[in-house]
C-alpha cells in the first residue's frame, strides 16, 4: 500500500507515504546519495498496512458553492509503531447536478520518512460523484 495525494492524505505527493529501503550503489556497495543535494537516496516499497482518514467541515454558500476546512491523516507502513502523517487545508467546492468539483490547498504538518524537510503547500483538484 501507498498513501498520499488527492484521494488519500492531501498535502503530500501521490504515493509519497510508504516504507523505504536504502538505494545501494552497485559500484561502491554503499548507500547512494543524490548528487544535487548530497542526501541519501531511498526507494519506496509500499507497506503491508494502510491507515487513512479525514475530518472535513463544509459550509454551504449561495449558487452551489461551499467552502471546506479539513485535516487528513494516515500512512502506509509495515509496523504499527510507524508515525501517522498529518496535514491541514482549506478548499472550495462547486456542486454540479452529477458531480462536485473540489479545489483544495493543503499543508503537511509532519516530515515523511526519507524527506529532509517538510513538504510545502500542495494544490489538489478532486471530482466526486453525487451518490
pLDDT digits (tens, 9 = 90+) for 64-123: 999 999 999 999 999 888 899 999 999 999 999 999 999 999 999 999 988 878 999 999
The CB-side HSE value for 25 (13 A sphere, CA atoms) comes to 11
Residue showing cell 461551499: 66
Domain coordinates in residue numbering, the chain: 40-129
Q: At 100, list the grid cell.
A: 462536485
> How many CB atoms within 10 Å of residue 43?
13
Return the biggest CA–CA distance within the chain: 63
Q: Are 4 and 12 in contact (CB under 8 A)?
A: yes
Q: How confident is the model at residue 130 (pLDDT cuts 50, 70, 90)?
A: confident
> Which pLDDT score is estimated for 131?
64
Kindly report whether the global pTM for this prediction surpasses the value 0.75. Answer: yes
Q: How far apart are CA 101 and CA 129, in angstroms?
A: 9
Amino acid at each position: 500500500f501507498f498513501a498520499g495525494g488527492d484521494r488519500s492524505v492531501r498535502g503530500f505527493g501521490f504515493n509519497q507515504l510508504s516504507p523505504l529501503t536504502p538505494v545501494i550503489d552497485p559500484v561502491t556497495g554503499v548507500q547512494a546519495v543524490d548528487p544535487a543535494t548530497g542526501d541519501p537516496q531511498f526507494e519506496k516499497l509500499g507497506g503491508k498496512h494502510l491507515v487513512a482518514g479525514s475530518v472535513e467541515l463544509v459550509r454551504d454558500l449561495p449558487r452551489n458553492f461551499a467552502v471546506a476546512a479539513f485535516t487528513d491523516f494516515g500512512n502506509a507502513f509495515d509496523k504499527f509503531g510507524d508515525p501517522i502523517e498529518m496535514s491541514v487545508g482549506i478548499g472550495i467546492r462547486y456542486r454540479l447536478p452529477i458531480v462536485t468539483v473540489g479545489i483544495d490547498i493543503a499543508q503537511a504538518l509532519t516530515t515523511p520518512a526519507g524527506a529532509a524537510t517538510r513538504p510545502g503547500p500542495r494544490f489538489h483538484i478532486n471530482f466526486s460523484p453525487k451518490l
